Amino acid sequence: MRCLRRVGLLVGAVCAMTALSATTQAQTPPEWLERTTLSGYVFGDAYHFSSDDEDVDGENGFWFRRMYLTIDSELSESLSARLRFEVNSPGDFTTSTNLEPYVKSAYLRWSSSGRDLYVGLTDTPTWGTVEDVWGYRFVEKTPLDLHRLGTSADVGVALQGAFDGESNRFRYNVMLGNGSGTRSETDSGKKAMLSTGWYPDDHWILEAYGDVESRPGATDRQTVQLFGAYQTQGFRVGLQAARQRQEVSLDDTRDVDLASAFAVLALSQRVNLLLRYDVLFDPSPEGDRIAYLPFDPTADSQLAIVGIDVALHERVNLTPNVEAIFYDRDDGDPRPEPDETLAARLTLYWRF
């Protein structure tokens, strides 16, 4: 009888240990999960528009302009992967639809000796540096992005690195892509992009960018852009100039020229003043298709942005800002088009 009791106790102890071991193993994440991170950010506004354009004047409400969910995985010491989803509102004041996600990034990155090779749907070099220094994408896009003169992502192959190795003063970012952004390829045309930057110290940045895009139906495009910036812990300023030549037909082209200047000044540890002024020397060809801030596509324009950014938390910003569009028209122009648009926004931005 005692023997049976001892056997029963032993079996019970083994079962308990087995259950405890299984529970412990279930709570220990697999190795691949430990090398995977999840992040994202969201921004949107409470807004009110005043405009000479009757289609926009008086528009007000709330909207989410962007939501991102990003999964990054370190596959090995030199190989990593990213999958990012984006959600945004139509921003055209007329479309009512649910927010639907789509793939914004999906790439493999191989890193070796200071060089990074990207394969898949990845960021283009078109305005990445400008956007990083501006730092307020959640307030407004950079000019080329705003006026739909390029794409922020494309499917293709990209290589980043430095001409001078570990010194990392002369950098390059070259990419060959479809030219169709996040959409599927539908033609045989391709887009080649190259940015070269000089970083003489921790404060100065000088970058030159150019691209050539082959498009169907005699609508090829070429873009050049120059950008310079100076930044310290307390402030940063940037200057940008760009031109895009667009083929309209076999015997007709048009240039879209723009310039932009911005400044960000730290008023305190948690409060920044941001200022920006864009000049579009030619009409914005797709101005009426710009989400959240439409432009008249028939007139030259200027855009002024003023905002106060308040860091409510390390990962939460509240930014009241005003965007004003002014148009240049020839004297005697009979077209009853708007002369100005004023957008007042209270922008909330958080990340995780």
Q: At residue 333, does pLDDT exceed 80?
A: no
Considering only the C-alpha atoms of the chain, give the largest distance between any 2 of them, rounded to a whole number of Å. 113
Q: Per residue in 183-226, pLDDT tens?
A: 988 888 899 999 999 999 999 999 999 999 998 888 899 999 99
- Residue 208 included in any domain: yes
Helix then strand count (H, E) for the chain reads 4, 16
Is 8 within the bounds of a domain? no
pLDDT tens per residue, range 296-314: 999 999 999 999 999 999 9
Q: Is residue 30 part of a domain?
A: no
For tokens 């050539």, name the residue: 212
In a domain, 5, yes or no: no
Distance, in Å, from the CA atom of 69 to the CA atom of 84, rounded to the nearest integer, reads 6
Q: Which distant-in-sequence residues (6+ apart) come within 8 Å of 339 by Cβ? A: 52, 326, 327, 329
Residue 86 pLDDT > 70: yes
* pLDDT (average), residues 113-132: 97
Identify whether 308 is part of a domain: yes
Which tokens hold the place of 295? 């432009």
For the segment 147-167, what is each residue's pLDDT rounded down to a tens digit? 999 999 999 999 999 999 889
**Domain count for the chain:** 1
Q: With 50 as the cut, is the pLDDT of residue 40 above it?
A: yes
Query: How sure is the predictor about 325, in pLDDT bands with cuts at 50, 70 and 90?
Result: very high
Residue 47 pLDDT > 50 = yes
Asked if the structure places residue 111 within a domain, the reply is yes
Q: Which residue has the tokens 């958080």?
A: 350
pLDDT digits (tens, 9 = 90+) for 258-279: 999 999 999 999 999 999 999 9
| 23 within some domain | no
Predicted pLDDT at 331: 59
Given a contact cutoff of 8 angstroms between Cβ atoms, the answer to whether 64 and 42 are in contact is yes
The predicted pLDDT at position 275 comes to 98
What pLDDT score does 334 carry? 52
Q: What CATH number is attached to the domain comprising 177?
A: 2.40.160.10
Give the confidence band of 179 by pLDDT, cuts at 50, 70, 90.
very high
Residue 19, domain member (yes or no): no
Give the 3-state secondary structure percentages of the chain, helix then strand then coil, rounded to 5. 15, 55, 35
**Coil vs helix vs strand at 23:** helix
Residue 6 has pLDDT above 90, yes or no: no
125 touches 144 (CB < 8 A): no
Residue range(s) defining the domain that contains residue 334:
35-351
Could you tell me if 136 and 162 are in contact, meaning their C-beta atoms sit under 8 angstroms apart?
A: no
